Amino acid sequence: MRAETEVEARPPLGVSLSQLLPWWFGLCVIAALSWVATITWADRMGVGPGTMGLSLAAFLIVWVVMMTAMMFPSVAPMAVVWIRSVAARPTTQARIVGIASFLAGYLLAWAAFGVAVYFVLLGGGGLAEDAPGAARWAGAGVFAVAGIYQLTPLKGACLRHCRTPVGSLFHYASFRGPGRDLRVGMHHGLYCVGCCWGIMIVLVAVGAMNVAAMIALAGVILIEKVWRHGPIFSQAVGVLLLVVAALAPFVPSLLPGLRLAPM
């Protein structure tokens, strides 16, 4: 077990830590700037139900910036290993273009999921306004779905891909064409959506612009993907979400995203 952990901890496919860290640092800086933008928007909009009046296009812009903030620290090693090793590039400029294409594909996958989230938020906002009692139970349902999904084999399979994607990297090496990096990013992004969608829908219940919740969820996602006990931690989070689901109908403060602010 110790040897397996040590292998997991090393950068795969011959990419040294010194090669990985500068790129990881750069993407973390982009994530930090995205956090600044997200917090600024959240401060202006507040935490409330629904889409807070945003159009679909405006929501997707905010959503993609949020995903950049929340996901880039955990996806950075995968992007760098792909560009530096499996699809090796001879120059720094070529690597930057390749990583940018990879990340664009990754964010496209999350943007597609964001469209679904937008319409769920619309429904949640309408429910909070028209049927507050039903909204509480809907919020409990959101937490229950998120918790149950954390315990499913599908969650486990997607999480394994995100934690140790080396096998998929070799599969991606067979991709051809000018959009290769974009396709690889989209494919990996879809696995990431499969891993994290249950956690992300919690934002429907607690508010799409709830910064504290975003930070907590980003921390959960990062720990799941990089900690040696990530799979066990993931299941523990699932149990915690089920406990919150049981409490939510009776503790309205747990559901700021499905509760209208007092006039």
Q: What is the pLDDT of residues 146-165, one digit of tens each?
A: 999 999 999 999 999 888 77
Mean pLDDT, the chain, as a whole number? 85
Within a domain: 118: yes
Query: Residue 198: pLDDT above 50?
Result: yes
Query: Residue 263: pLDDT above 70?
Result: no
Structural domain of 105 = 15-258
Under a CB-based contact definition with an 8 Å cutoff, are residues 234 and 61 in contact?
Answer: no
The model's confidence at residue 110, banded by pLDDT at 50, 70 and 90, is: very high
Within a domain: 163: yes
- How many structural domains does the chain have? 1
Within a domain: 9: no
Going from the C-alpha of 154 to that of each of 23, 201, 222, the distances in angstroms are 31, 17, 18
| Residue 48 CB contacts under 8 Å (≥ 6 apart), including other chains | 207, 209, 256, 257, 260, 261
Within a domain: 5: no
Within a domain: 8: no
Under a CB-based contact definition with an 8 Å cutoff, are residues 168 and 188 in contact?
Answer: yes
The model's confidence at residue 88, banded by pLDDT at 50, 70 and 90, is: low
Under a CB-based contact definition with an 8 Å cutoff, are residues 136 and 246 in contact?
Answer: no
Within a domain: 193: yes
Q: What is the pLDDT of residues 171-191, one digit of tens each?
A: 777 777 778 889 989 989 999
Within a domain: 1: no
The model's confidence at residue 73, banded by pLDDT at 50, 70 and 90, is: confident
Within a domain: 213: yes
Query: Residue 15: pLDDT above 70?
Result: no
Long-range CB contacts (within 8 A, 24+) of 36-45: 37/65, 37/69, 38/62, 38/65, 38/66, 38/69, 38/209, 38/211, 38/214, 39/211, 41/65, 41/209, 42/209, 42/210, 42/211, 45/209
